[in-house]
């Protein structure tokens, strides 16, 4: 394996880098585009790996392994860093024992996210070193380098990647694992206890550590001048570098920056002095640009290039070379294809039934957010992980005459819905919380969580009982219902929304994509069909209208039987049983 | 000017497009070329429109194929072929699986599935290869090999030899499924 090249995604390369750097511990909560980092790390028996219930816990456990002397990696999507921000802000003060890398996987263009926050600002705000790789090979190399720098400067490092780094594959040269022994743990109250008297001293030492790193930044090999083109001079980082090279090739000279906080000030000053007119090509916000302009160095950045969405070679060709924008011609009338709940998805019938009962429905982050799309259209607020519960509580306090139902998945409930539920009970909220328990973390591609009974390495483990947890919060009204049983759901929801206190309905049914679940006996529609199209209100991709009839696609139907329950004419039957 | 070949693989989340792109990327690796391949994970995988970019050649920077740059588009579904057709370069080839999967706006009657897609693309001067991969896979006895059959049709248009492709397929599929996948590859490769 050693020395050979493998085609790896950025996420796989970071996992490989962690292995080669002698990492002993890695923690995360799944979130696109970061998920595969921990999934791959977990395949190395040398590394203790865990899915934590949320990002804050992942970072706190990672702090513990770091303080205990292990090289440690924590990984999450950009918005996960919001959840984990509290311990991370203190970590720069304490510094590290074993090296510490936080991987922040940002999502410009919002392929699978609610915002496109540029987490490079967090590194500056939290006072961590910041590394920005440009491809899979550099993702691996910077992971290895980041652990060395973290230990050398006694600072945590952020390895900041984006969707195109995470999910683009490129050749990566493999190396052997370097065994790094646990550093000795020593009780050190002045370092690890951030009470004010200690924190004031750490605050001073933090600036000293950062200024040493700033000096080093000018000599870091990942910060370097490339090419000798005369037409353009460019300062760039991350994916911006790739799009700039693609567009300008040999026509430009590049100052590519891999360590972007603290900035290599001397390198930048010398580069701009030499070239005069310099463009900053960075995806997202003007992170480099603002700092460079604050040094009094004139550069061209976001006055020319967009800060919204992803950058691309096409955008640079248009803005820098004046090329025309490609026109959309053939695809002009192509209908959109938004993602949908799968055929047989247990969430479908739950939202269909909620629509019959609720006045207001709040929803949360997961596959079930798709229930907010037509035709179900169930879910009128979705803000962040766990917010469905608190938002419903606030609404119920102001609109007591409305039946308010909050909906949340099992993993999201454990992530941060549970705290909202405590608030509902404690402050006497009257809402109904529906926990959509599909026994897995679905949207990110089936990760285990504390209620599934398995670890990240698929070993059997202790299991949190969601119903017991709900009861322990003080909820007296609790129903557990089969998510495919629409009558059972409806009677539970009607009872819950009229009981006059906090109520919880757990709708249980495993994700239809779990192994062994797909491909139950399919259903079909007989001649008894009166074409009322009630079944089409479910928004099942297996049910479509063709040549004046409603049909069920045998190839797509997973046999959940929900459509059968909404048909008033008994026209939906098991395949092969049409005239029964 | 560095020579780069651009391929787009488009389809509906869950159709197995990632496997086809993995094989093309692997084949380029075997040939010792620079290669990048960009995928979509997360929400779009739930039945949304999905695209994978594969670029290989002397040197590859951006992992993304832009409009008017694709040498080949391999479409697993007809509407997706139409959606991405603007990405084809003049003289490029569009390989289309003859399958229609209506998106939700069509199912609920908010939009219409475009008609005569093959004819429209041909009239636009695009070289279209139409493949009924579902029937071919069924005939081969394994419906799940649709993606390998389509891949083989596109592979025939690329510059690598059959041995390279077979080695790449072997890297991408579990060993117990290799025989059936190689058989499916042969069906696509030998298609007239």
Q: Do A302 and A352 lie in a common domain?
A: no
- Bridge pairing between strands A572-574 and A523-525: antiparallel
> Residue A327 domain-assigned?
no
What does the pLDDT look like over A410-463, one tens digit per residue? 999 999 999 999 999 999 999 999 999 999 999 999 999 999 999 999 999 999
Question: Using an 8 Å Cβ cutoff, are A264 and A257 in contact?
Answer: yes
Domain CATH code at residue A355: 3.40.50.970
Handedness of CA B36, B41, B44, B46 (dihedral sign): positive
Q: What is the mean pLDDT of residues B34-49?
A: 86
| Alpha carbon of A35: minimum distance to chain B alpha carbons (Å) | 9
Q: What DSSP assignment string belongs to A465-500?
A: -HHHHHHHTT--EEEEEETT-HHHHHHHHHHHHHSS
Question: Of the residues A321, A336, A363, which one is the last residue of a structural domain?
Answer: A321
> Residue A514 domain-assigned?
no
Q: What is the mean pLDDT of residues A14-23?
A: 98
Q: Do A431 and A555 lie in a common domain?
A: no
| Alpha carbon of B190: minimum distance to chain A alpha carbons (Å) | 27
| Strand segments (E) across A394-491 | 404-409, 432-437, 477-482
Which pair of structure tokens corresponds to residue B37?
A: 């391949």
In the beta sheet, which residues pair with residue A479? A505
Q: Do A314 and A380 lie in a common domain?
A: no
> Residue A332 domain-assigned?
no
> Residue A580 domain-assigned?
no
Q: Do A401 and A293 lie in a common domain?
A: no
Q: Do A157 and A300 lie in a common domain?
A: no
Q: Do A130 and A28 lie in a common domain?
A: yes
What does the pLDDT look like over A119-175, one tens digit per residue? 999 999 999 999 999 999 999 999 999 999 999 999 999 999 999 999 999 999 999
> Residue A341 domain-assigned?
no
Which pair of structure tokens corresponds to residue A142?
A: 């910077």
What percentage of residues in chain B have a pLDDT greater than 70? Answer: 99
Q: Do A373 and A262 lie in a common domain?
A: no
Which strand (E) or helix (H) includes residue A254? strand A252-256
Nearest Cβ partner for A336 among B68, B103, B121: B103
Asked if A211 has any chain B CB less than 8 Å from its own CB, the reply is no
User: Which pLDDT score is estimated for A515?
Assistant: 85
Asked if A19 has any chain B CB less than 8 Å from its own CB, the reply is no
User: Which pLDDT score is estimated for A580?
Assistant: 39
Nearest to A448 by CA among A414, A482, A472, A476: A414
Domain extent, residue A315, equals 224-321
> Residue A305 domain-assigned?
yes
Q: Using CA atoms, how far apart are residues A123 and A160, in angstroms rounded to an integer?
A: 9
Q: Do A65 and A156 lie in a common domain?
A: yes
What does the pLDDT look like over A195-231, one tens digit per residue? 999 999 999 999 999 999 999 999 999 999 999 999 9
Q: Do A410 and A540 lie in a common domain?
A: no
| Alpha-helical regions (H) of A131-180 | 136-153, 163-166
Question: Using an 8 Å Cβ cutoff, are A227 and A248 in contact?
Answer: no
Nearest to A119 by CA among A69, A155, A163: A163
Chain A residue numbers with beta carbons less than 8 Å from the beta carbon of B9 are none
Q: Give the three-state DSSP class for A211.
A: helix
Q: Which of A171, A339, A366, A368 to mutate to test the interface with B (most CBs of B within 10 A)?
A: A339
Q: What is the mean pLDDT of residues A279-287?
A: 98
pLDDT over threshold 60, residue A284: yes
Q: Do A420 and A375 lie in a common domain?
A: yes
- Residue tagged 């001079």 (tokens): A233
Q: Do A209 and A235 lie in a common domain?
A: no
Q: Using CA atoms, how far apart are residues A477 and A298, in angstroms rounded to an integer?
A: 64
Domain CATH code at residue A315: 3.40.50.920
> Residue A517 domain-assigned?
no
Chain A residue with the nearest C-alpha to that of B82: A331
Question: Using an 8 Å Cβ cutoff, are A283 and A162 in contact?
Answer: yes
Q: Using CA atoms, how far apart are residues A155 and A149, in angstroms rounded to an integer?
A: 8
Q: Do A162 and A278 lie in a common domain?
A: no
Question: Using an 8 Å Cβ cutoff, are B42 and B81 in contact?
Answer: no
- Domains detected in chain B: 4-189 (3.40.920.10)
Q: Give the three-state DSSP class for A252.
A: strand
Domains: count for chain A: 4
Domain CATH code at residue A533: 3.30.70.20
> Residue A10 domain-assigned?
yes
Confidence of residue A578 (pLDDT cuts 50, 70, 90): very low
Nearest Cβ partner for A339 among B46, B62, B102: B46
Question: Of the residues A482, A508, A534, which one is the last residue of a structural domain?
Answer: A508
Q: Is the pTM of this model over 0.90?
A: yes
Handedness of CA A482, A483, A485, A488 (dihedral sign): positive
């Amino acid at each position: 394996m050693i020395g050979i090249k493998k085609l790896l995604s950025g996420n796989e390369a970071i996992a490989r880098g962690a292995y080669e750097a002698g990492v002993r511990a890695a923690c995360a909560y799944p979130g696109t585009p970061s998920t595969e980092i921990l999934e791959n790390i977990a395949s190395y028996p040398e590394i203790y790996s865990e899915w934590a219930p949320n990002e804050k816990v992942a970072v706190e456990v990672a702090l513990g392994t770091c303080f205990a002397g292990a090289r440690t990696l924590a990984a999450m999507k950009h918005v996960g860093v919001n959840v984990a921000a509290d311990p991370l802000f203190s970590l720069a003060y304490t510094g590290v024992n074993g090296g510490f890398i936080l991987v922040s996987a940002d999502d410009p263009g919002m392929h699978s996210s609610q915002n496109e926050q540029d987490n490079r600002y967090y590194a500056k705000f939290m006072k961590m070193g910041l590394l920005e790789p440009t491809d899979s090979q550099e993702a691996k190399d910077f992971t290895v380098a980041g652990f060395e720098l973290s230990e050398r400067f006694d600072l945590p490092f952020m390895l900041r990647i984006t969707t195109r780094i995470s999910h683009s594959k490129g050749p990566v040269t493999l190396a052997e694992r370097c065994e790094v022994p646990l550093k000795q743990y020593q009780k050190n109250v002045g370092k690890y206890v951030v009470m004010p008297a200690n924190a004031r001293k750490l605050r001073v030492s933090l600036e000293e550590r950062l200024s040493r790193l700033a000096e080093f930044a000018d000599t870091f090999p990942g910060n370097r001048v490339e090419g000798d083109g005369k037409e353009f001079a460019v300062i760039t980082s991350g994916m911006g570098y790739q799009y700039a090279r693609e567009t300008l090739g040999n026509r430009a000279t590049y100052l590519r920056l891999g360590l972007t906080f603290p900035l290599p000030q001397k390198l930048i000053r010398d580069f701009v002095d030499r070239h005069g007119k310099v463009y900053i090509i960075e995806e997202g916000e003007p992170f480099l640009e603002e700092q460079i302009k604050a040094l009094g160095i004139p550069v061209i950045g976001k006055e020319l290039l967009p800060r919204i969405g992803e950058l691309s070679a096409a955008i640079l060709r248009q803005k820098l070379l004046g090329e025309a924008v490609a026109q959309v011609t053939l695809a002009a009338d192509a209908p959109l294809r938004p993602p949908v709940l799968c055929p047989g998805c247990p969430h479908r019938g739950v939202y269909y039934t909620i629509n019959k009962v609720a006045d207001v429905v709040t929803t949360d982050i997961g596959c079930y957010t798709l229930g907010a799309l037509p035709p179900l259209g169930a879910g009128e607020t979705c803000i962040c992980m766990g917010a469905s519960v608190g938002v419903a509580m606030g609404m119920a306090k102001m609109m007591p005459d409305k039946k308010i139902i909050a909906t949340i998945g099992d993993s999201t409930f454990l992530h941060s819905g549970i705290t909202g539920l405590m608030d509902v009970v404690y402050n006497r909220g009257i809402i109904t919380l529906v926990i959509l328990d599909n026994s897995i973390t679905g949207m990110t591609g089936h990760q285990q969580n504390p209620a599934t009974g398995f670890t990240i390495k698929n070993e059997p483990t202790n299991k949190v009982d969601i119903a017991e947890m709900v009861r322990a919060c003080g909820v007296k009204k609790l129903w557990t219902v089969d998510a495919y049983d629409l009558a059972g759901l409806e009677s539970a929801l009607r009872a819950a929304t009229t009981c006059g206190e906090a109520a919880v309905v757990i709708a249980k049914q495993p994700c239809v994509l779990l192994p062994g679940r797909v491909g139950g006996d399919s259903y079909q529609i007989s001649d008894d069909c009166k074409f009322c199209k009630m079944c089409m209100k479910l928004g099942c991709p297996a049910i479509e209208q063709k040549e004046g009839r409603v049909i069920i696609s045998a190839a797509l139907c997973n046999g959940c039987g929900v459509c059968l329950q909404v048909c008033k004419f008994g026209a939906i039957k098991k395949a092969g049983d049409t005239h029964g | 000017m560095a020579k780069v070949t651009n391929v787009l693989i488009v389809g509906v989340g869950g159709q197995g497009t990632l496997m086809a792109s993995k094989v093309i990327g692997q084949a380029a690796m075997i040939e010792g070329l620079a290669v990048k391949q960009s995928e979509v994970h997360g929400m779009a995988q739930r039945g949304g429109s999905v695209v994978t970019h594969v670029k290989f050649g002397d040197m590859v920077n951006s992992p993304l194929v832009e409009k008017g740059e694709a040498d080949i588009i391999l479409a697993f579904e007809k509407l997706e072929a139409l959606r991405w057709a603007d990405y084809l370069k003049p003289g490029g080839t569009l390989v289309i699986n003859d399958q229609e999967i209506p998106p939700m706006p069509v199912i609920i009657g908010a939009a219409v599935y475009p008609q005569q897609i093959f004819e429209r693309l041909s009239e636009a001067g695009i070289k279209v290869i139409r493949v009924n991969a579902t029937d071919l896979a069924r005939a081969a006895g394994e419906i799940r090999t649709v993606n390998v059959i389509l891949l083989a049709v596109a592979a025939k248009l690329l510059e690598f030899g059959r041995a390279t492709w077979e080695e790449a397929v072997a890297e991408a599929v579990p060993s117990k499924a290799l025989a059936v996948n190689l058989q499916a590859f042969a069906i696509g490769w030998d298609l007239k």
